[in-house]
Amino acid sequence: MAFVDGPVRVRVPATSANLGPGFDALGLALGLHDELTAAVVSDGLRIEVAGEGSGQVALDESHLVIGCMRRTFTLLGTQPAGLALTCENRIPHSRGLGSSAAAIVAGVLLARALVVDGAARLPDADVLALASEIEGHPDNVAPCLLGGLTVAWIAGAAKAIRRDVDPAVTPVALVPSFTASTELARGLLPESVPHRDAAFTAGRAALLVAALTGTPEALFDATQDRLHQPYREPAMPASVRLVEQLRSVGLPAVVSGAGPTVLVLARDADEIARARAIAPQGWTARELPVDCRGATLLAT
């Protein structure tokens, strides 16, 4: 099995999953990116990390990107003698902006690109399935890979449909200085919910797809959720309070993924400004346009 000469480089976007009622199904790619470069070397493992996670993440085989590369190489029937990896991280970690999904997608794509016939042997549909299997669910890896708005589901393997987002919509991420645990947030969810809440949320999720792809005036109603956000309040009370505050003045606000970041799906400059003005002290308001391309191999 032959490897390409020289390094390969990939850019992967941040993502926001759930978007309110679209629990474990809907995801949005955002204009904030990690860029990673990898090369096959003669021996050993060298990892450099700059930006988010620098000095905190592991620099050995337990590094998430390396683990995903190893798994992909095994799937392709080869392992290089040595690897060099450089990560330029801009996506905040443990904030509900898909940093782990970005690392997983990057690892799979880097390994595929380092194998001469990797793209032919592991097409994008298989990349999605593998990345989803590693992550445990497809709601973040789908928009990270495909860009735009995605609806993802499991039917044997992960599958996804991509849609363009109405150009009037500009996501604004309100990012706190503190982190949250996805495992803790998931652990707070009940085994069952009232049928009326499930029916309400299913209807809002369908409306949300329509609102994001052409009817943004419906976004406030479309982002109402009764399935997961109310149950997660003990894990992120400040985030849930902020969502309530933003919604009380008519802004379509949701918890981003498992939090604690709050996402406002602003529809004009006034809503962007109001979202920024409401951001509490210690929170950073970031205007993040929708990323339409998804994960992209870059020239090195």
Considering the domain boundaries, does residue 211 fall inside one? yes
pLDDT for residue 121 is more than 80:
yes
Considering the domain boundaries, does residue 43 fall inside one? yes
Average pLDDT rounded to a whole number, residues 102-117: 98
Q: For residue 135, give the H/E element and its range.
A: helix 124-135
Q: What is the pLDDT of residues 144-176, one digit of tens each?
A: 999 999 999 999 999 999 999 999 999 999 999
Quote the pLDDT of residue 232. Answer: 87
Considering the domain boundaries, does residue 27 fall inside one? yes
Considering the domain boundaries, does residue 96 fall inside one? yes
Considering the domain boundaries, does residue 1 fall inside one? no
Tell whether 179 and 222 lie within a shared domain: yes
Q: What is the pLDDT of residues 20-44, one digit of tens each?
A: 999 999 999 999 999 999 999 999 9
Which residues have a Cβ under 8 Å from the Cβ of 152 and sit 6 or more positions away?
25, 26, 27, 132, 138, 139, 141, 142, 158, 159, 160, 161
Considering the domain boundaries, does residue 91 fall inside one? yes
Tell whether 35 and 130 lie within a shared domain: yes
Q: What band does 233 get if pLDDT is binned at 50, 70 and 90? A: confident
Quote the pLDDT of residue 186. Answer: 77
- Using the structure block, give the residue that is written with the tokens 């406030």: 220
Tell whether 184 and 273 lie within a shared domain: yes
Q: What is the pLDDT of residues 128-139, one digit of tens each?
A: 999 999 999 999
Tell whether 136 and 181 lie within a shared domain: no
Query: pTM of the entire structure?
Result: 0.95
Give the CA angle between residues 23, 209, 291 to the nearest 5°.
Answer: 85
**How many structural domains comprise the chain?**
2
Tell whether 114 and 187 lie within a shared domain: no
pLDDT for residue 1 is more than 70:
no
Average pLDDT rounded to a whole number, residues 101-124: 97
Q: What is the pLDDT of residues 51-95, one digit of tens each?
A: 999 999 999 999 999 999 999 999 999 999 999 999 999 999 999
pLDDT for residue 268 is more than 80:
yes
Tell whether 89 and 74 lie within a shared domain: yes
Percent of the chain topping pLDDT 70 = 100
Tell whether 113 and 180 lie within a shared domain: no
DSSP state of 299: -
DSSP state of 290: B
Quote the pLDDT of residue 273. Answer: 97
Give the CA angle between residues 127, 75, 91 to the nearest 5°.
Answer: 45
Q: What's 249's domain CATH number?
A: 3.30.70.890
Tell whether 187 and 66 lie within a shared domain: no
CA distances from 223 to 4, 81, 87, 114 (A): 46, 49, 34, 41
pLDDT for residue 242 is more than 90:
yes
Q: What's 103's domain CATH number?
A: 3.30.230.10
Average pLDDT rounded to a whole number, residues 224-228: 93
Average pLDDT rounded to a whole number, residues 230-235: 86
Tell whether 176 and 276 lie within a shared domain: yes
Tell whether 12 and 71 lie within a shared domain: yes
Considering the domain boundaries, does residue 2 fall inside one? no
Is the distance from CB of 12 to CB of 300 less than 8 angstroms?
Answer: no
Tell whether 132 and 256 lie within a shared domain: no
Range of the domain at 231: 170-287
- Strand spans (E) along the chain: 8-18, 22-41, 44-51, 82-89, 149-155, 157-163, 170-175, 253-255, 262-266, 284-287, 296-298
Tell whether 124 and 175 lie within a shared domain: no
pLDDT for residue 300 is more than 80:
no
Considering the domain boundaries, does residue 120 fall inside one? yes
Q: What is the pLDDT of residues 168-213, one digit of tens each?
A: 999 999 999 998 777 777 788 889 999 999 999 999 999 999 999 9
User: What gap in Å lies between CA 282 and CA 93, rounded to an integer?
Assistant: 16
